[in-house]
Structure 1
């Protein structure tokens, strides 16, 4: 069995909290291939990025770091629940900064994975941090596109105006407006006319014992979401993303757009060594924790990393 150490390290002006998953029969005198695992938006390190993928990769002989995003989970930073893509990408760089100080981490064999929004952040981080030697996006989502489209009800300018008003009000002393991205239950979502597979399955994962964790807040600070509006996870991929890339998606498309985003980055990347794995008959949230699609993902990504790290 792998084992887990909780660690913390310096970020910009606060501490990051992370779980370090170590392989069975771990020997700190050895040097291991190592992977940074980035959680979805509204998630935390104890959910799919940690307890599913980091755990499984550690059992296959990798050291894996699953961390909480700045302003979220057990990591520091204020105000809480900021989802700023530039800082989320910076978090991945700081995770690598920490890992390369560890004597048992081979700095020349560092890979990265991310789930959902974490997949988009991992892709963007790898473009500008070539310490990442290979990467896998698991049902990855380009949060910039998502917030310009369905999250703003296809009215990005109207949303930006509302965010601007709210940020001014908060600067002048109004309480922070923290939105929950999901309904409280699947039933309430359906009763309110929600029929999108991604929203309903996200609610089933995050709001029930299936995936619920104390720090999986599914929340965002509305006034600070404007930072994502002008951001694109895939910008400059044709020039800068040259490392080996694997994209894993389910073939049941939903409103968060991982299926289309997966094919888009697969087509756009400059990587010569690129692969797309489509889990047929499975959805975005099936790839978070359901045994069969997770097995399909691991059967692809474990040998991918073994050969390239």
Structure 2
């Protein structure tokens, strides 16, 4: 038995699985040097009730993420409950996620709004790609950061995902038991939408095969040219375009929500970005989430079925679906008269206690 133990230890040491604490600490400090904007460049006004600063942290793929930290100026003392926020899919922390984070900080939570890997001010190459695995990991990396802050209670950490990041939030909650409460607001299941199209209209093997052919041909061309062409996001819609396309344009391409670093305000995603989502249904284990989940969606949102179908998968009496009367998908991006912040505060105070 002793000989087996020694051999096992030798094997682990040879393959780098017994890294010393000193080595581990050093490697965690090897963060990419990011160029962070210091001036206030958000799409919402700055609050005088919270302190704001820029922070960075590293995910387990070695990508350095940039975040805005919001801390309430008046607290009762002691360690605070904390919330990490991200989304919508293709947005940056200066848009909707920052608004959610700042507002929740006004209500007593320490919060961060972060840019996902490969986007915004965060690191990662090539740029403007998404990943079902890495973007789920981004949430857990945010939890790593929050759990090790001296002013945060590591047993009281929650997350908020908006739009496509609502799906990643649900996926993260299924995998990360440190997350005690999850809110998915106006959520998309990006893997389902990528593989099946809107309303599952293209849910068949032939349609997916054709998509894979096109995306893989693009991969060959990308490698040949050494470039990564991008899609065009939210062009000005025609008069007869679906209303939700007009709503996206109204948020991302006008003064209301435009931001120069936002993928959805600019040239869009790397053309092959969707490829990974065709084989990776991110909500496969949603039914195994034991922590609290709140799904919020607009009554008139084209995407409402994502939350309704996800809610059917969830189990336990700590799960809730809230439908906002009359609201469309983008109303929950920035309309403070529509976003139910009182409900979010109540939910997080109940489950992060």
When normalised by structure 2's length, the TM-score is 0.80
Residue deviations 1:163-207 (CA, integer Å, cap 9, x gap): 100111111225312112311x3xxx115x5x2222211111011
Please name the residue that 1:73 is paired with.
Answer: 120
Answer whether contact 1:71 1:77 (CA < 8 A) is retained: yes
- Name the structure 1 match of 2:26: none
Pairing partner for 1:88 from 120, 123, 135: 135
Q: Does 1:200 align with 2:246?
A: yes
The runs of 5 or more residues in structure 1 that have no matched partner are none
> What displacement does 1:225 show?
1.7
Mapped to 2, the partners of 1:127 and 1:85 lie a distance apart of 13
2:158–2:179 Cα contact (<8 Å) kept: yes
Is 1:298 the counterpart of 2:325 in the alignment? no
Alignment map for 1:62-141 (pairs within 5 Å): 62-141=109-188
SS at match of 1:36: strand
- Let me know the Cα RMSD of the aligned residues: 1.7
Please give the alpha-carbon distance, in whole angstroms, between the structure 2 residues aligned to 1:269 and 1:79.
35
* Structure possessing the higher relative contact order (Cα contacts under 8 Å, 6 or more residues apart): 1
Alignment of 1:272-283 (within 5 A): 272-283=317-328
Displacement over 4 Å in runs of 4+? none
Distance 1:156 1:49, change over 3 A: same
Pairwise CA distance, 1:301 = 1.2
Q: Which is further off, 270-279 or 147-156? A: 147-156
Match in the other structure for 1:5? 53
Match 2:255 to one of 199, 206, 209: 209
1:221 and 2:301 aligned: no
Residue in structure 1 matching 2:289, options 238, 241, 245: 241
Unmatched 5+ stretches in structure 2: 1-48
Q: Could you tell me how far apart the structure 2 residues matched to 1:263 and 1:237 are?
A: 13
Alpha-carbon distance in structure 2 between the residues aligned to 1:62 and 1:284: 26
Higher strand share: 1
Give the match for residue 265 of structure 1.
310
Deviation track 1:280-300 (CA, whole Å, cap 9, x = no partner) reads 001010111113211xx2121
CA offsets per residue over residues 83-110 of structure 1, 9 Å max, x none? 1121100111111111112100100000
Partner of 2:89: 41
CA distance in 2, matches of 1:144, 1:302: 29
The change in CA–CA distance for 1:206 and 1:153 in structure 2 (over 3 A counts) is: farther
For residues 6 and 26 of structure 1, what CA distance do their matches in structure 2 show? 20
What's the offset of the Cα at 1:55?
A: 0.9
Q: Which residue of structure 1 aligns with residue 64 of structure 2? A: 15
- Which shifted more, 168-177 or 41-50? 168-177
Q: Which residue of 2 aligns with 1:288?
A: 333
Is it true that 1:232 corresponds to 2:260 in the alignment?
no
Matched positions, count: 295
> Is the Cα–Cα contact under 8 Å of residues 233 and 263 in structure 2 kept in the other structure?
no
Residues 195-221 of structure 1 show CA distances to partners (whole Å, capped at 9, x for unaligned) of 222221111101111011121122211
Q: Does structure 2 conserve the Cα–Cα contact (< 8 Å) formed by 1:35 and 1:64? A: yes
Structure with higher Rg: it is: 2
Distance (whole Å) between structure 2 residues aligned to residue 26 and residue 177 of structure 1: 48
| TM score, norm. by length of structure 1 | 0.91
Deviation at 1:41, TM superposition (A): 1.0
Matched residues in 2 for 1:241 and 1:298: separation?
23
